[in-house]
């Protein structure tokens, strides 16, 4: 079974802090994704990566950056946290190189981040 592990289930940070959300997958998947889930808005793609050191902007990249130094790990960084970044953050992975995958994504259990 594919396992996508997010380092924290709940996180509380203060405005202006630099926040790191970590995600690890154990199935050697090429593609990894970061989403945020907000009520009434569904899942919105922040960034994705289809290879080590590669990244692509999603629909809402502003205020975020990502890092993929190893294939199994994809980090989401909030450079200077703001209250409007309070949300549920979901990491996902999927196989096949190049990003052109019709394989379903496997999700972690999410990190509920509160910015005070």
Partner 1 sequence: DQQVKQNSPSLSVQEGRISILNCDYTNSMFDYFLWYKKYPAEGPTFLISISSIKDKNEDGRFTVFLNKSAKHLSLHIVPSQPGDSAVYFCAAKGWSSASKIIFGSGTRLSIRP
Calpha distance 20→3 (Å, rounded): 20
Decide whether 59 or 69 has the Cβ nearer to partner 1.
59
Category of 28 on φ-ψ map: left (φ > 0), alpha (ψ -120 to 50) or beta: left
Smallest gap from Cβ 76 to partner 1, in A, equals 15
Among 8, 58, 63, 114, binds partner 1 (CB under 8 A): 58
Among 21, 105, 113, 115, binds partner 1 (CB under 8 A): 105
Q: Which residue is associated with the tokens 């692509």?
A: 56
* CB 82 within 8 Å of CB 12: no
The site for partner 1 (CB under 8 A) is made up of 4, 9, 31, 33, 35, 40-45, 48, 50, 56, 58, 90, 92, 94, 98-102, 104-110
């Amino acid at each position: 079974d594919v396992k996508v592990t997010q380092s924290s289930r709940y996180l509380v940070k203060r405005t202006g802090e630099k926040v790191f959300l970590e995600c690890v997958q154990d199935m050697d998947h090429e593609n990894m994704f970061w989403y945020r889930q907000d009520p009434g808005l569904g899942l919105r793609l922040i960034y994705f990566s289809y290879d080590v050191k590669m990244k692509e902007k999603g629909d809402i990249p502003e205020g975020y950056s990502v890092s993929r130094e190893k294939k199994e790990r994809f980090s989401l960084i909030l450079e200077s946290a703001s209250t409007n970044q309070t949300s549920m953050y979901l990491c996902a992975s999927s196989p096949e190189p190049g990003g052109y995958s019709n394989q379903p994504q496997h999700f972690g259990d999410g990190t509920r981040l509160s910015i005070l």
